[in-house]
């Protein structure tokens, strides 16, 4: 695809912003926030946390939000996606709502609105309250009910301040990390339990949407929408060989369509269901569950794009004595000559953002969508410090390259309303802590000092001009 080198202007009222989560940025604060699964993980495996940094302080947004929101404004934000901590609002996961937590979130959201920044509120970002995890987390239907009560409370307490709502960020993450790849608590390897977690998460999302619609019926003057945020990697076969193509179909089913189809269409892909049945992996569910999922689909879709997924047909037989994994049907493929971020270990493939948007346009009714995460993590950014500022031209190039393809997708009819970068200020990453930095603003961990990077200045101009001069793809990563 040949991209035009010109000024790329984006639609009026385009959402320029960034995203992070409560667990990664707020710190503990003084509201009596309950413990989460990350405290449980810290207790069990402190050696896994990079440089021994847990979530007690992180970026201390809880105490610094007034000044930080002004930094958002300085870096061109007209919107920002945060999450509301379930464990802060309900320290035990259920029971009485914490009044101090409500006061904090209302003050913070009011500050954001006053600064002209639209709050996008996500309701779950990998931060299960400890008491809910103790009874099984998303494996337990009682936790689904407690989550829906938490969501309904948020709609009631903050519905006048939040612009758009999202039930989950990357619901595939807890399945991958907690039940397949051993990087999230409870750190078990059991795909069938993971399938149950996935199903109950989809059901919880649908029931939260149902509660949202009931809330909107009481307040019909509010124009907020509710959606879900999915991490989607366009899947590319190694070749056009039918066996490689079939491998890509399976990878796509397990890692993309499994959450995308029920969230947008209200149904699960038949081939996925058949495969789960074949291996005795079907989740426990009722017909009413399927009805609730079918009748409560998302109104808006967040698209997190970081890297493509490349696969090939398996070259070795599966060991039938090993635990079932989706990779029984395919193998990963490393494309020769790929662009690569060695810090995070991900391929950089900008056209993937275009292909993802086209897929949503053609196969999901062109539902209203936005890029809810895109970003580049780099370690030891102090190497690029000049006169007290990180000169992160690589991040500017990364953003420009992706935006050039996103602009082409919009030109080709994709219903894309915005672009949110991961992230605003360098924030804590799951277990990796502050190893890789993603922010438009650098954070000195010792002093908590914030300094706008060169990319933050670029982002301010990007938002101000609602576009940028594209001079060709940046290649020096």
Q: Are strands 346-348 and 339-341 parallel, antiparallel or unpaired?
A: antiparallel
Rounded CA separation 448/454 (Å): 19
Rounded CA separation 111/68 (Å): 10
Rounded CA separation 380/140 (Å): 41
**Stretch (H or E) spanning 229:** strand 226-231
Rounded CA separation 454/203 (Å): 43
Q: Which of 23, 170, 347, 381 is catalytic?
A: 170
Radius of gyration from C-alpha coordinates of the chain: 21
Rounded CA separation 30/412 (Å): 49
Token code pair at residue 97: 């709502």
What is the maximum alpha-carbon separation in the chain?
63
In the annotation, is 368 catalytic? no
In the annotation, is 170 catalytic? yes
- Cβ distance 424 to 67 under 8 Å? no
In the chain, the N- to C-terminal Cα span, in Å, equals: 21
Token code pair at residue 51: 């440089």
- Cβ distance 427 to 382 under 8 Å? no
Helix (H, G, I), strand (E, B) or coil at 388: coil
- Residue 304: φ, ψ to 5°: -95, 120
Please report how the helices 172-179 and 191-218 are oriented relative to each other, as an axis angle in degrees rounded to 10: 150
Q: Which of 23, 131, 157, 373 is catalytic?
A: 373
- Cβ distance 411 to 364 under 8 Å? no
Rounded CA separation 210/189 (Å): 32
Backbone torsion region of residue 345, taken as left when φ is above 0, otherwise alpha when ψ lies between -120 and 50, otherwise beta: left
From residue 359, alpha-carbon distances to 200, 295, 458 in Å are: 26, 23, 30
Active-site residue list: 170, 373
């Amino acid at each position: 695809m040949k991209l035009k080198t010109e000024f790329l202007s984006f639609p009026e009222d385009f959402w320029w912003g960034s995203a992070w989560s409560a667990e990664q940025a707020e710190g503990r604060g003084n509201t009596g926030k309950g413990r989460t699964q990350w405290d449980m993980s810290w207790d069990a495996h402190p050696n896994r946390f990079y440089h021994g940094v847990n979530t007690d302080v992180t970026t201390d947004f809880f105490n610094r939000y007034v000044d930080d929101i002004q930094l958002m404004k300085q870096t061109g934000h007209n919107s920002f996606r945060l999450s509301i901590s379930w464990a802060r609002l309900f320290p035990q996961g259920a029971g009485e709502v914490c009044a101090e937590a409500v006061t904090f979130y209302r003050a913070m959201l009011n500050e954001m609105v006053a600064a002209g920044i639209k709050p996008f509120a996500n309701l779950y970002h990998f931060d299960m309250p400890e008491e809910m995890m103790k009874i099984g987390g998303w494996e337990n239907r009682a936790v689904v009910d407690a989550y829906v009560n938490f969501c309904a409370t948020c709609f009631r307490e903050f519905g006048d301040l939040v612009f758009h709502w999202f039930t989950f960020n990357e619901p595939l993450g807890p399945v991958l990390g907690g039940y397949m790849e051993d990087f999230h608590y409870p750190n078990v390897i059991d795909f069938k339990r993971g399938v149950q977690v996935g199903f109950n998460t989809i059901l919880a999302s649908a029931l939260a949407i149902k509660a949202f619609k009931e809330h909107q019926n009481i307040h019909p003057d509010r124009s907020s929408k509710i959606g879900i945020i999915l991490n989607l990697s366009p899947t590319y076969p190694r070749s056009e060989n039918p066996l490689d193509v079939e491998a890509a179909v399976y990878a796509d089913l397990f890692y993309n369509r499994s959450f995308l189809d029920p969230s947008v269409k209200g149904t699960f892909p038949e081939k996925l269901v058949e495969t789960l049945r074949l291996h005795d992996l079907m989740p426990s569910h009722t017909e009413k569950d399927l009805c609730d999922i079918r009748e409560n689909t998302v109104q808006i879709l967040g698209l997190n794009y970081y890297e493509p997924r490349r696969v090939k047909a398996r070259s070795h037989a599966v060991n039938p004595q090993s635990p079932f994994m989706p990779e029984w049907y395919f193998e990963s493929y490393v494309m020769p000559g790929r662009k690569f971020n060695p810090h995070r270990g991900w391929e950089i493939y900008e056209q993937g953002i275009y292909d993802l948007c086209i897929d949503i346009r053609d196969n999901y009714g062109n539902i209203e969508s936005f890029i809810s995460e895109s970003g580049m993590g780099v370690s030891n950014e102090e190497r690029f410090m000049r006169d007290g500022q990180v000169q992160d031209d690589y991040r500017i190039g990364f953003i420009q390259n992706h935006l050039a393809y996103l602009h082409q997708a919009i030109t080709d009819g994709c219903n894309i309303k915005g672009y949110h970068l991961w992230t605003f200020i360098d924030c804590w990453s799951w277990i990796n802590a502050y190893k890789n930095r993603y922010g438009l603003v650098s954070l000195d961990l010792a002093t908590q000092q914030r300094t706008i990077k060169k990319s933050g200045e670029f982002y301010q101009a990007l938002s101000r001009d609602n576009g940028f001069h594209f001079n060709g793809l940046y290649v020096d990563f």
